[in-house]
Structure 1
Amino acid sequence: MRVSPPTLLSVAISLVSIVNAHQDHAFEARAYVDELTAREEAYNALERRELFSDISTRELIDEVSDRLERRYANWMCSWCHVGFINKGDAKKVQCSNGNSKKGEHNLKHM
């Protein structure tokens, strides 16, 4: 049995067209979803950058220093030596020293 080159060429072209028609698009879909995720992350970073562009450096430093001060005990009673984060917390607890009036603390800023 002999196969002529035009017949062989037509069979090869038909096989190539069938293979191209039945591609698995799962990998392309994954790549597209990854691209969308990367775009979203870049967009969110841009939003944050624009958000901070309206705030001056001095305001940022002041806010960060205020937040750091709130983390630690800034006030201490000179009588009972108990530390408090703010004056409101000191009012919730009575001083154990007998020198205080009505159990109030003698607070000093640290």
Structure 2
Amino acid sequence: MTMMNVQLEGGTIFKPGETITGQVSWYLDKRPKAARVRLFWYTMGKGTEDSQVEEQQVFDKPMQQDNRSFKFKLPIAPYSFSGTLISLRWGVELDIKGVKEVCTKEFVLSPFDKEIVL
């Protein structure tokens, strides 16, 4: 049985330049060879979709059942937005080697305390 979780501290709306902290946890059938958490953004909608990992944290000696903290300094841009043709989303993602799925927690990065709607 595989269980994975990402929790963010301080809600789901953050300002550019702030620090985002949280915890990831997992319970796996066997001990993983590697585990990491990534700060990333991606676009979705019509046209070419894009994504970029801004930063990642690799965990030393992950255990079969584990709980780890993370901390990332958020960049100044790009902001989260939703438009008619394209949207940009931010997330923190737990990726464990040997596990097909990933666990993602999305959040909003905006100076306006909400997602920008175009």
Q: Same fold (TM over 0.5)?
A: no
Larger RCO, structure (CA 8 Å, separation 6 or more): 2
Q: Say which structure is richer in helix.
A: 1
Query: Could you tell me the TM-score, scaled by structure 2's length?
Result: 0.22
Query: Could you tell me the TM-score, scaled by structure 1's length?
Result: 0.24
Q: Say which structure is richer in strand.
A: 2
